[in-house]
Amino acid sequence: MMYKKSKLEDFFGNSRLALSNAKDNPQVRPLLSTFNVDDARFEEGFALLDEADASETLKKEKYAAQFETKLNLQRLSDETHEVHMMHVKLIRIAYRKQPEKLKELGVLGATIRKSNINGWLLQTKYFYDHALVDDVLETLARYSITREKMEETKQNVLKVEKANEVYKQAIAEAQDAVDKRDLALQKFEYWMSEFIAVCRYALKGNPQLLEALQIKVFSKGYQRKKKDKPGDSDNQPVDPKTEPQDGETGKDTGTEECINKGKSEGEKNKALEIAEKALKEEMPIELISKLTGLTKEEIEKLN
């Protein structure tokens, strides 16, 4: 595929330039029209390009939002965790000879690390629910810890819980944006690859026109060299450094087969995921089949 190794921004820019040049060039249009590349086809291509470009922009926005919510969660949890640990340590000092009381407050054993945010929230909420009682508050008053301070920290724990939910939602939205971008990009790449193939055929005698469309032109010598790679034919010499020597078995075919099988299954699962999302977007089954390589029967089973 053209521009496969370049950034998406470059790919979109080069594709837009290629379509614009092809549409506006008076030498190119008549040659392409022979293959039914008319205004409607160009509008279709630009529409798919705009959709893919917009979906990439949305993906970036969702990832930026995800990053902001993560920073907010980290800030709130760091501040609240510091105060919470102070309260826990003071409780352990006050009730050091009453393990049953420490157990009742959920601080007899080790506290859950803040990195485990869900576990930390459960343990911390439990602590404040059971510590905000008169006898515990009277004990903490010896260390200048008031009911107001304990209530404030409990509310901050709830803010962390809310921030965590917002962060989870941002992750889900970012992933959804990626999936939609991938689908839109795949649709446009499929359309563009067909357009390039038609251009190569229609303009095969005009390499300068192909270059004006940002389509790379290969010389016959390059094509011949690519076709005649060493080892492609039995008559080609084999590099002795790569040929198995006496006593060597060469490649581990069993391991290679397992790797290839794993790759194949992974690609099949990815194709099924894309097909399922495409069906939700009400894309025609014929087009989904072309995009994913799945059969119509396999796609219909997803309905």
Q: Specify the pLDDT at position 95.
A: 95
Q: Specify the pLDDT at position 260.
A: 60
Q: Specify the pLDDT at position 214.
A: 79
Q: Specify the pLDDT at position 152.
A: 97
Split at pLDDT 50, 70, 90, the class of 298 is: confident
**Mean pLDDT over residues 87-114, rounded?**
90
Q: Specify the pLDDT at position 265.
A: 72
**Mean pLDDT over residues 51-63, rounded?**
95
On the CB side of 163, how many CA atoms lie within 13 Å of its CA? 21
- Report yes or no: 194 and 7 within 8 Å, Cβ to Cβ: no
pTM of the model: 0.68
% residues pLDDT > 70 (the chain): 80
| Other Cβ atoms closer than 10 A to 153 | 21
The residue among 44, 43, 57 whose CA lies nearest residue 12 is 57
Look at residue 255 and tell me whether its pLDDT is greater than 60.
no
Q: Specify the pLDDT at position 233.
A: 42
Q: Specify the pLDDT at position 301.
A: 85
Split at pLDDT 50, 70, 90, the class of 218 is: low
Q: Specify the pLDDT at position 297.
A: 85
- Report yes or no: 156 and 79 within 8 Å, Cβ to Cβ: yes
